[in-house]
C-alpha cells in the first residue's frame, strides 16, 4: 500500500483548487504529445529531467509507466493508465472537499498577511478560563488570536525563557511566603526587571471527589486514612505542574507524608484527566480546580485560593498582541464571563489585565 502526502504552495495568483502530483502531469504531457521530448517542451522542462523523473517514479512505485516501441509514439503502460484513471476518479469525487480545504487554509493564512491581526503564543498551565479567553478573543477581538499550548507551569516559564512563546501562564497559592517550595521552584526561573506579570484571575483548588462525597473526604489528612478498611485512592499531577507544587506545599504545611497517600505516584496530565479518573472510579479523590469538578458532575471540597498569573518579558509589553490581550482582559465582557466560571473570580478587579510588580506579587526578593 502506497501512502499519500499533501503539499501546498502560497501564491498571489487566483487559480482553481487542485491537489496534483507531478507524476500525473508528466504522464499526461507525454501521453498527449506522444513522446518524452514533446511532453518536456509542453511542460517547459528538459528531456533529461523528464526522462530521469519517469525512471525514478518507476523505481519508487515498482512498475513500468510508459511503453516505447520502435516507430510508434510513446504510450502509457496499463499501470500508468490506471494511475491516470485513479487521479481522474479522485479529482471528480473530492473536488468539493479540496475546495473547502483550500478555503480553510486561506482563512488561516489570511492572519499572517493581515498587518492588523496579531497572534500571541502562550504556553500555560491547564486552565478552563484560558480556554474560554481564547474563544472570547475570537468573538470580542477579531484581530487577536491566542495560540495556547497547555503544559506544566514550570515548563511554560521555561518555554518563555527559551523563546518558544511570548507569554506563559502559571499559578501559585495566594499570600505565598518566603522559604517555601514555591519559591525554590519559581525564583530561579523569574527575574525582576526582565519579567513582567499581567493580572489574570483567582481560582479555587480543592479535592475532586465522587458526587455526594460518599467517603466523607474533608481535607488532605483524609487521604492518609482508610474508609471501610480500604485506602483512599488519589490521582496526582505530574512533576513540573503548578498543582503538584501546591499539593507538596500543602502536605509540608500540614506535616503529612506523601508516602502515606495511596496513588501519590499515579499522575494525570490535566485537571480534566484527574476528574475523569475520579468519575470512572480509578481514583477516589484528586486535587484540581472547581471548574473541572463541576463540568464532570463531581463533588468538590475547596482547600485553597490561588492566583493564576500571566508572565512575559518586559521587552514584549509593547508588542501589539500583548497590548490587545491586555485590553481584552480589562474589558467588562471578559470580566463578566470570568465571574461565571465555577471557582474563578477576577484576581483583583482593578488588576486584571494590568502589569504588576513581580517582586510584589511574588515577594521572594529583598532590596535595601
Residues 62-92: pLDDT tens digits? 999 988 777 677 788 999 999 989 888 888 7
Contact criterion met (CB below 8 Å) for 137 and 117:
no
Indicate the pairing of strand 144-150 with strand 75-76.
unpaired
Domain segments of the chain as ranges: 22-111, 118-361
Averaged confidence pLDDT in the chain:
90
Rounded Cα gap, residues 303 and 251, in angstroms = 12
- Strand runs labelled E in 9-131: 66-67, 75-76, 118-124
16 band by pLDDT with thresholds 50, 70 and 90? low
Instruction: State yes or no: pLDDT of 367 exceeds 60.
Output: no
Rounded Cα gap, residues 265 and 284, in angstroms = 14
Beta-bridged to residue 173, according to DSSP, are 306
pLDDT > 90 fraction of the chain, expressed in percent and rounded: 65
The pTM of the whole model exceeds 0.85: no
351 band by pLDDT with thresholds 50, 70 and 90? confident
User: Per-residue b/e over 137-149, b at no fewer than 16 CB within 10 Å?
Assistant: beeebeebbbebe
Please name which of 204, 194, 207 lies closest in space to residue 236, comparing C-alpha atoms. Answer: 207
106 band by pLDDT with thresholds 50, 70 and 90? confident
Rounded Cα gap, residues 100 and 108, in angstroms = 12
Please name which of 24, 18, 20 lies closest in space to residue 5, comparing C-alpha atoms. Answer: 20
Q: Which CATH number fits domain 22-111: 1.10.10.10, 3.40.50.300, 3.40.250.10, 3.30.300.30?
A: 1.10.10.10
Contacts of 10 (CB under 8 A, 6+ apart): 109
CA torsion angle for 202, 208, 210, 213 (degrees, to 10)?
-80
Q: Which CATH number fits domain 118-361: 3.40.50.300, 3.90.260.10, 3.40.640.10, 3.40.190.290?
A: 3.40.190.290
What is the per-residue pLDDT for 365?
Answer: 73
- Tens digits of residue pLDDT in 293-349: 999 999 999 999 999 999 999 999 999 999 999 999 999 999 999 999 999 987 555
User: Mutual orientation of helices 36-43 and 47-61 as an angle, nearest 10°?
Assistant: 110
> How confident is the model over 180-194, as a mean pLDDT?
93
What is the per-residue pLDDT for 7?
Answer: 76
Contact criterion met (CB below 8 Å) for 100 and 279:
no
What is the per-residue pLDDT for 138?
Answer: 86
Rounded Cα gap, residues 169 and 179, in angstroms = 22
Instruction: State yes or no: pLDDT of 32 exceeds 60.
Output: yes
Chain position carrying cell 474560554: 132
Amino acid at each position: 500500500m502506497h501512502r499519500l502526502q499533501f503539499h501546498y504552495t502560497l501564491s498571489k495568483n487566483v487559480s482553481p483548487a487542485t491537489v496534483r502530483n507531478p507524476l500525473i502531469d508528466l504522464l499526461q504531457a507525454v501521453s498527449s504529445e506522444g513522446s518524452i521530448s514533446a511532453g518536456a517542451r509542453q511542460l517547459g522542462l528538459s528531456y533529461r529531467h523528464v526522462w530521469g523523473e519517469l525512471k525514478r517514479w518507476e523505481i519508487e512505485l515498482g512498475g513500468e509507466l510508459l511503453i516505447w516501441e520502435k516507430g510508434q509514439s510513446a504510450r502509457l503502460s496499463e499501470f500508468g493508465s490506471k494511475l491516470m484513471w485513479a487521479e481522474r476518479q479522485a479529482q471528480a469525487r473530492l473536488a468539493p472537499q479540496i475546495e473547502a480545504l483550500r478555503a480553510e487554509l486561506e482563512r488561516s493564512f489570511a492572519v499572517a498577511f493581515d498587518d492588523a491581526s496579531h497572534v500571541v503564543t502562550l504556553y500555560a498551565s491547564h486552565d478552563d478560563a484560558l480556554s474560554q479567553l481564547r474563544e472570547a478573543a475570537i468573538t470580542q477581538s477579531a484581530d487577536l488570536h491566542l495560540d495556547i499550548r497547555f503544559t506544566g507551569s514550570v515548563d511554560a516559564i521555561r518555554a518563555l525563557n527559551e523563546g518558544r512563546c511570548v507569554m506563559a501562564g502559571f499559578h501559585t497559592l495566594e499570600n505565598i511566603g518566603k522559604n517555601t517550595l514555591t519559591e525554590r521552584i519559581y525564583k530561579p526561573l523569574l527575574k525582576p526587571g526582565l519579567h513582567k506579570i499581567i493580572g489574570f484571575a483567582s481560582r479555587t483548588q480543592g479535592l475532586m471527589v465522587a458526587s455526594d462525597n460518599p467517603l466523607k473526604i474533608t481535607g488532605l489528612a483524609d487521604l492518609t486514612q482508610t474508609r471501610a478498611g480500604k485506602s483512599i485512592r488519589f490521582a496526582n499531577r505530574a512533576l513540573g505542574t503548578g498543582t503538584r507544587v501546591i499539593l507538596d506545599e500543602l502536605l509540608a504545611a500540614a506535616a503529612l507524608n506523601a508516602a502515606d497517600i495511596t496513588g501519590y505516584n499515579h499522575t494525570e496530565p490535566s485537571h480534566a484527566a484527574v476528574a475523569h479518573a475520579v468519575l470512572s472510579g480509578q481514583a477516589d479523590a484528586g486535587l484540581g480546580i472547581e471548574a473541572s469538578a463541576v463540568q464532570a458532575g463531581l463533588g468538590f471540597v475547596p482547600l485553597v485560593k490561588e492566583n493564576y498569573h500571566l508572565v512575559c518579558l518586559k521587552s514584549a509589553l509593547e508588542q501589539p498582541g500583548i497590548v490587545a490581550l491586555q485590553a481584552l482582559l480589562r474589558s467588562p465582557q471578559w470580566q463578566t464571563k470570568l465571574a461565571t466560571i465555577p471557582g474563578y473570580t477576577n484576581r483583583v478587579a482593578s488588576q486584571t489585565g494590568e502589569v504588576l510588580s513581580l517582586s510584589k506579587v511574588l515577594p521572594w526578593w529583598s532590596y535595601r
